[in-house]
Amino acid sequence: MVTGPVRVLVLKPQELSRTGHVGRALRQRAAEVIEHVLSDDGPPPVLDGFDAIVVTGAPWSVDGDEVRPWIDGLLERLRQAVATGVPVLGICFGAQAFAEANGGWVARARDTEVGLHEVETDVPDLLPRGPWFMWHGDTFGPPDGATVIARTRAGPQAYTLGPHLLVQFHPEATPGMVEAWLAYDDADFHRAGVDPDETVRAMRASEQGARARAGALVDRFLEGSRTA
């Protein structure tokens, strides 16, 4: 059990995988946050000395060519986290990688979900309906023993396994981050018939609520890290 402030390792697939609202909440609540960019810094560091792990989103699939130099190291760290009880908060790609590492599966989804969406949630105190920002073309099956706690018509949106919390959507996303992601590649929005500019405007109008929801999510996650 961690009795004081926690030391958090943030694993980011690329530099654009910023921590946004989640990073802000972590730094307000945790003693130290160490960020490691997998595509630039290589395989993740050992877990010794870390009380919790956050794995952020990525524009790639867990089986894509882009992740091959470091994905095996990430999957091994996620297996170690389960074996040693180090809580993981996985976001989108992070939730998919956690499933892949621990006996679940990841595949292309029938539909790409983009924009702001509400979820059907079984635990609104932990995970309210939203709206949450989504951008994913893959879906997953969680590991054995996991509990799916939120979903949309397209598939599962969040699950837990012991102290681990895995979400398919992006609680970290700020309007500025999404603008940067859209500048990188906005094709998914156009294919889905969703106006990216309108999405950013809606995010700006509701940013205070998004920040509060992300902070509450981080609070619950860190509570788990202190009792794991």
Query: Among all residues, which ones are annotated catalytic?
Result: 92, 170, 172
DSSP 8-state symbol, 44 = P
Q: Do 196 and 189 touch, CB atoms closer than 8 A? A: yes
Contacts of 5 (CB under 8 A, 6+ apart): 29, 30, 31, 32
Peptide bond connecting 131 to the previous residue in cis, omega within 30 degrees of 0: yes
Q: Give DSSP secondary structure letters for 94-163.
A: HHHHHHHHTT-EEEEEEEEEEEEE--EES-TTTS----EEEEEEEEEEPPTT-EEEEEETTEEEEEEETT
Q: Do 113 and 152 touch, CB atoms closer than 8 A? A: yes
Residue 75 and residue 120: Cα distance in Å, rounded? 29
Residue 214's identity, in one-letter code, is A
- 186 burial (CB, 10 Å; 0-12 / 13-18 / 19+) is middle
Task: Tell me, rounded to whole angstroms, the distance of Cα 5 from its chain centroid.
Answer: 22
Q: Do 198 and 175 touch, CB atoms closer than 8 A? A: no
